[in-house]
Amino acid sequence: MRVSFALVAAACLFSVNAFGFMSAEIHYKWWKNPRIKEEMELTDKQVETIDDIFSSYRERIILFQRELKSEEAELLNVLRKPECSRDEVMEITDHIEDMKATLTRIKVEMYLKIKNVLTAEQQMTLHNIKEQYRGRKR
């Protein structure tokens, strides 16, 4: 269940993440890339709203990512100990997986809010831009 949710979420989130290509410039905030903004016909109000949504989630995402890295480092430390128990390792692993699921939910929630700012046509254009990027990446 978690794996399928993560795969679906990852596919959705790719649209939100750093694929500000379409020129030599790279923009993490794709909605601020002038060429993408023009191609999608984003209004200034949409850009502002998307930026506000992104900003409202950014700190939570960064904190979860830091905590997740810390937990993963802890798992590695425990695994290096000859006396580590299976139960201890599995408990940390379960906690890491729960954190990953929570982080995915946060990102999907952000994505859905951003998606609601876009028209159906803009959503399709964003999807097409994503597909172009995938083609270039290969």
What DSSP assignment string belongs to 57-123? HHHHHHHHHHHHHHHHHHHHHHHHSTT--HHHHHHHHHHHHHHHHHHHHHHHHHHHHHHHHS-HHHH
Tell me: pLDDT of 1 over 70.
no
CATH topology of domain 2-137: Four Helix Bundle (Hemerythrin (Met), subunit A) (1.20.120)
Every domain of the chain and the residues it spans: 2-137
pTM of the model: 0.71
Summarised one tens digit per residue, pLDDT across range 41-84 is 999 999 999 999 999 999 999 999 999 999 999 999 999 999 99
Q: How far is CA 133 from CA 9, 20, 27, 79, 110, in A?
A: 18, 9, 13, 38, 21
Summarised one tens digit per residue, pLDDT across range 19-40 is 444 444 445 799 999 999 999 9
